[in-house]
Amino acid sequence: MSAAAALPRPEGGPIIELLDLSMRFRQQGVLRDITLRVCKGETLCVIGESGCGKTVLLKLMIALLRPTRGVVKFDGRDLASLPEHELSRTRLRFGFLFQMAALFDSLS
């Protein structure tokens, strides 16, 4: 059992839920059969080597990309079924922090 698996989960259902998520670009498979649940109060950190699909995963989580297969739910609602104005409001609830992010790379 990993250390993360041993931690108690916050009460309540998942705020973010990915169910059997897969993503392909033409013939290139990027993500395959990802199932993930993040409960309210949890923090998710996505790490991995360059090109492994981290940014694609994050874009799928906020419906900037549509998965080839699978479902993305936020607060119990399938993001694929939301109208654009509701998606925009939902996206405002997400935050991203990239490792080498700088407003102006030349000034960092």
Q: What is the pLDDT of residues 23-41, one digit of tens each?
A: 999 999 999 999 999 998 8
Q: What pLDDT does residue 99 have?
A: 66
pLDDT band, residue 43 (cuts 50/70/90): confident
Q: How much is the CA Rg of the chain, to the nearest whole Å?
A: 15
Q: Mean pLDDT, the chain, as a whole number? A: 84
The pLDDT tens digits for 56-88 are: 999 999 999 999 999 999 999 999 999 999 999
- Domain 11-107, classified CATH 3.40.50.300, yes or no: yes
Q: pLDDT exceeding 90 applies to what percent of the chain?
A: 56
Q: What's the pLDDT score for residue 12?
A: 73
Q: What is the DSSP letter of 93?
A: T
In terms of phi and psi (left: phi > 0; alpha: psi -120 to 50; beta: otherwise), the region of 26 is left
Question: How many angstroms separate the Cα of 59 from the Cα of each of 51, 91, 97?
Answer: 14, 10, 13
- pLDDT tier, 53 (very low <50, low <70, confident <90, very high otherwise): very high
Task: Give the whole-number percent of the chain exceeding pLDDT 70.
Answer: 79
Query: For the chain, percent helix, then strand, then coil, each to nearest 5?
Result: 25, 30, 45
- What number of CA atoms fall less than 13 Å from residue 46's CA on the CB side? 17
Chain centre distance of CA 20: 13
Predicted local confidence at residue 46, as pLDDT = 85
At 58 the three-state DSSP class reads helix
